[in-house]
Amino acid sequence: MRFINDLAAATSLLGGSFVAMGNQVGEYYQVAYTVVDPDGKTLRRELAPLEAIKDHNPKFLLTMDHTPLTLHNGIKQLNVLDWLLS
């Protein structure tokens, strides 16, 4: 039951993004059109909900930005089209 409670709390933290579950393992996804801006505020804003989740399940930031696979403190930033086709 704790797992379900953790996922419910994480879902409320993520707001408009989503949590995927399979075989009792959750994955967290934050989605943004772009996180590229001169001062980095957008990237920090989009990473904050994922960073607030303290479990060790996989966390992803999906964007339309064309960047190579990037890690932000263990959070994988991926191009959403590449993710969909993988």
pLDDT in tens, 23-80: 667 888 899 999 999 999 999 999 998 998 888 889 999 999 998 989 999 999 999 9
Write the single-letter amino acid at 85: L
Domains of the chain, by residue range, sit at 2-85
Residue 13 — pLDDT band, cuts 50, 70, 90?
Answer: low
Mean predicted confidence (pLDDT) in 9-20 = 60
Write the single-letter amino acid at 17: S
How far apart (Å, rounded) are the C-alpha atoms in residues 56 and 64? 25
> Locate tokens 């934050």: which residue?
30
pLDDT at 12: 57
pTM assigned to the model: 0.78
Q: Which CATH number fits domain 2-85: 3.40.1350, 3.40.50, 3.30.310, 3.10.620?
A: 3.40.1350
Number of alpha helices (DSSP H) and beta strands (DSSP E) in the chain = 3, 5
pLDDT at 45: 93
Q: How many CB atoms lie within 10 A of CB 32?
A: 20
> Locate tokens 């263990």: which residue?
74
